[in-house]
Chain A
Amino acid sequence: MSLSDYLDTYRDEIIALTWQHLLLFTLSLLGATVIGVLLGIGVARLRMMASVVVPVVNLLQACPEIVLLAVSIPLLGIGFQGALIPLFVKGVLPILRNTASGLANVDPRMVEAARGLGLRPAQILLRIELPAALPIMIAGIRVSAVMLISVLTLTAYIGVDSLGTLIVQGIARMDPIPLVVGSALTATLALLVNYILVAAERAAASRLT
């Protein structure tokens, strides 16, 4: 079967798998962003927390993804949540690290000035510090996003469909066509997400100056 025949025959399936991939991606990235930013703020504020959270997250980061996915089956069962939780755990670290270092690098004179104007700590965080740290935070989100798009292909092995399903079919049947289609779509998504977030990073940085 030629590539164009394959695309004609399986077009609906390929589109459905792409949507599913994007859905898993969006959910896991959202989860990783919320947790990563909150933990990052905590780490920047509380020394105690840094000494507990950072080593734990570093350890989780060193775990191979397939191990996290495989171990999550007996714990969380096969299905959506079994795939999502290990993925978003994997995505937390870059966001946490960049949020913490972004906040640590905010010019202390700006914070001082805000305090002098009578802003409360919560207001300083939301209106001064987070906007100043935003470009670095987005860079962390970008690293996570590109990694998640690629790691997501592995969910095919624990029974959750994604573009990885095509790659796995290709490997199992030694058929390069689904393999190339799945890989090319995943790589394209990764590059696309990368460029979008690079643009967001630039926009956030230019708003600062």
Chain B
Amino acid sequence: MKISDFLAANWQRIIDLTLGHIELSLYAVGIALAIGIPLGILCYCLRPIAVVVLNLVSVIYTVPTLALFGIMIPLLGIGVVPAIVAVVLYSLLPIVQGTYTGLIAVAPEIRESATGIGMGAGTRLWRVDLPLAIPVIFGGLRVAVVNAVGMMTLASLIGAGGLGDMVFRGISTLSWGLVLAGSLPLLLLAILADLGLRTVERRLRAGQASS
């Protein structure tokens, strides 16, 4: 069967799996943001904690993604929840590190003048430090999103669905139509996410440089 025939016959299923894949990835990155940004801020405010947290998230990052999914089975069983937990754990590093580096990189003169005009530590963090750190945080978010889209492919191995279903079924039955039907939307997703978020990141940086 030609690949174009295959796509024509299966487009409904491909779209369903793609939407499911996007949904899973967005959940994971959303949760990782909700945990990672406060953690990054905490690292910035309490330096002794920073070493511990940053080392911990980088150790998690060195665990092979495949293994991370595997380890979820004895801990949380199979399905959507363990898949999302695995991707959240893996997405923490770019987000925590992005937040922390972005905050650290705020020029000391700016920080001093904020204190000089009478801002308290909390106000300064919220009104000065965080807005200035946004482009760097966004860079971390971009890495996390692209990673999550790729990593969610493996979620299929623990029964969470997504485009990995097609890719892995194609590999195990040696049918290239199936592999490509799963891979092409994955490629598109990853590339579009990367390009789109890169553009936003550049805008953010440019906006900051001009103001």
Contacts and interface: CB of A to CB of B under 8 A. Distances in A.
Q: How large is the interface on A (under 10, 10 to 19, 20 to 34, 35 or more residues)?
A: 35 or more
Contacts, number: 107
Contact of A67 (B62, B176, B186, B194): B186
B71 to A, nearest CB: 6
A191 B63 CA distance: 9
A164 B69 CA distance: 12
B190 A183 contact: no
Interface in B161-187: 164, 167-168, 170-171, 176, 179-180, 182-183, 186-187
Contacts of B186: 63-64, 67
B67 A153 contact: yes
Contacts of A191: 59, 62
B171 A190 contact: no
B157 to A, nearest CB: 6
Given A59-B191, A62-B190, A179-B70, A187 B154 contact: no
A190 B186 CA distance: 27
Contacts of B153: 64, 66-67
Interface in A38-77: 58-59, 62-67, 70-71, 73-74
B7 to A, nearest CB: 15
The main secondary structure of chain A at its interface with chain B is helix
Given A58-B194, A74-B176, A171-B70, A186 B170 contact: no
Contacts of A194: 62
B71 A183 contact: yes
A97 B36 CA distance: 26
A171 B171 contact: no
A67 B67 contact: no
A86 B62 CA distance: 20
A66 B154 contact: yes
B190 A167 contact: no
B74 interface: yes
A186 B67 contact: yes
Contact of A187 (B64, B146, B164): B64
A52 B154 CA distance: 31
B149 to A, nearest CB: 7
Chain A CB within 10 A, most for which of B62, B70, B167, B182: B70
B64 A70 contact: no
B157 A171 contact: yes
Interface of B: 59, 62-71, 73-74, 146, 149-151, 153-154, 157-158, 164, 167-168, 170-171, 176, 179-180, 182-183, 186-187, 190-191, 193-194
